[in-house]
A and B are shown apart, each in its own frame.
Chain A
């Protein structure tokens, strides 16, 4: 079974703190993703990575950065946490498929989520 783990289930931080959220997958997946989920807004993609040291912005990258130094690990960094970053953060990973018309993601496997509260 694919396993995606996240470093914390619940996290409470103060405004202005630097926050690290860690995600590890054990399936040798090329792709890794960070989403945030808010009531009424669904899942929104923050950043994704398709290879070690490679990253691309998602739909809402402002206020976040990421790091992928090893294939199995993808970190989300909040440089200076703010209250509007209080949310559920979900990490996912998948294999990468290269198609004639571009690239595609296969099944994404999600971690259990980290509920971050910024006070």
Chain B
């Protein structure tokens, strides 16, 4: 099983601050993907990082991957109220096609 978890479960910050969320996993991965979900909606893909990559950027998002620690982090810089959402990491690995998700981090950005 590749079960892992996002951490923390909930995070509340002020607009303009940075938000950091972490994802841990237990077995080797091919890639790890971060998603955002606004309340009651589907998931929106943010960044995919492959097992041979250590860092990726997309706009205000920065994702790091440490395969020796089996962990990844998502940093959102200069947060906005519109960033309020749940964030999930999906791990893909082994000889299968699927992503394994945790329970997510609920981020609240207060204006």
Contacts and interface: CB of A to CB of B under 8 A. Distances in A.
Interface of B: 30-31, 33, 35, 40-45, 48, 88, 90, 92-104
Contacts of B92: 104-105
Given A43-B88, A104-B92, A108-B33, A96 B45 contact: no
Q: Indicate the member of B42, B97, B104 with the most A CB atoms within 10 Å.
A: B97
6 contacts: A43-B88, A90-B42, A101-B95, A102-B95, A102-B96, A111-B42
B85 to A, nearest CB: 13
Given A90-B43, A112-B41, A113-B42, A104 B31 contact: yes
A42 B42 CA distance: 13
Given A42-B101, A99-B30, A112-B42, A107 B94 contact: no
A45 interface: yes
A74 interface: no
Contacts, number: 74
A90 B43 CA distance: 9
Interface of A: 4, 31, 33, 35, 40-45, 48, 50, 56, 58, 88, 90, 92, 94, 96-97, 99, 101-113, 115
A6 B22 CA distance: 31
Chain A interface secondary structure, helix, strand, loop or mixed? strand
B22 to A, nearest CB: 15
Given A90-B43, A99-B30, A108-B45, A33 B88 contact: no
B57 to A, nearest CB: 16
A110 B42 contact: yes
Given A105-B92, A112-B42, A43 B97 contact: no
Given A107-B45, A108-B90, A109-B45, A96 B97 contact: yes
A33 B33 CA distance: 16
A97 to B, nearest CB: 8
A113 B95 contact: no
Given A90-B43, A99-B30, A113-B41, A33 B96 contact: no
